[in-house]
Amino acid sequence: MFTGAMVALVTPFKDGEVDFQTMGELIDFQLESGIDAIVPVGTTGESPTVSHEEHKRIIEFVVKQVAGQVPVIPGTGSNSTAEAIDLTESAKRFGADATLQVCPYYNKPTQEGFYQHFKAIAEEVDLPIVLYNIPGRCGAGMTPETVIRLNDLENIVAIKEATGNLDQASAIAIGCDITIVSGDDSLTLPLASVGGKGVISVVANIVPADVKAMTDLILEGDLVSARKWHNKLFFLAKNMLGLATNPIPLKAAMSMLGMASDEMRLPMVGLEDSKKQILRRTLKDYGLLD
């Protein structure tokens, strides 16, 4: 359930509201492309700017649309443990297969605080948990020792590693058997060299079959062949995601490709016109635009 190509699904908006029709079309595209799991309402899904009511409606919608074809792993984390439990309980009620739990942000817990936060969620809701370690977004992150300690809890089963630090991933892999997946598209293959089993991918929103081709080879142990896909995907990931904060460039790309609107909610704004030219050239170089 927690390996391979998993898409960090965007949340499309139309006139200020969640565009469920387009979301359904995007889900169908992912399923037709063979994606291994769908991860809605995470960072890429703009969870900070959807209301709690919208958050729950999105989870319910995605679970129904997917209809058991692949696992659904919604983001239900928060910097409030009580809120994270509430969202996670809702995800379980709607039939989600697991949840993605980001490290509490802004309030910067101690390592003991991280442990007690995730322990409380794990004990309160009987649903598999994928930890999400991304200190660049949260202001603080977990050490390998904390992750290893958390892995002793029965339903903490995987971690989305987005620290960009292979030493961190190596220490986790050596210290426990938690499943490690990449949170950075450009690092999926390097992470595989120290035990990574896939990616929760941003670029899979537009090229899911290519991301899956790479992760399938990784899971087969053929890292040499996987490197060909890494080389193809690398500049798409780096050039697109390096232009502005995710998901701004992704939504701009999806708009150019006719997949979804580039509408954002404040404080996120659309991609600058000068950067759109770079993005368009990147999509052309990849073969996605004429």
* CA atoms of 113 and 80, how far apart (whole Å): 11
Q: Look-up: residue for tokens 């996605």?
A: 288
Letter for the amino acid at 242?
A: G
| Phi (first) and psi of residue 246, to 5 degrees | -60, 135
Radius of gyration of the chain measured on its C-alpha atoms: 18
Q: Which helix (H) or strand (E) holds 18?
A: strand 17-18
What distance in Å separates the CA atoms of residue 133 and residue 101, rounded to the nearest whole number? 9
Asked whether 118 and 146 are in contact (CB, 8 A), the reply is no
Do 155 and 122 touch, CB atoms closer than 8 A? yes
Residue positions annotated with a catalytic role: 132, 160
C-alpha span between 250 and 247 (Å, rounded) = 5
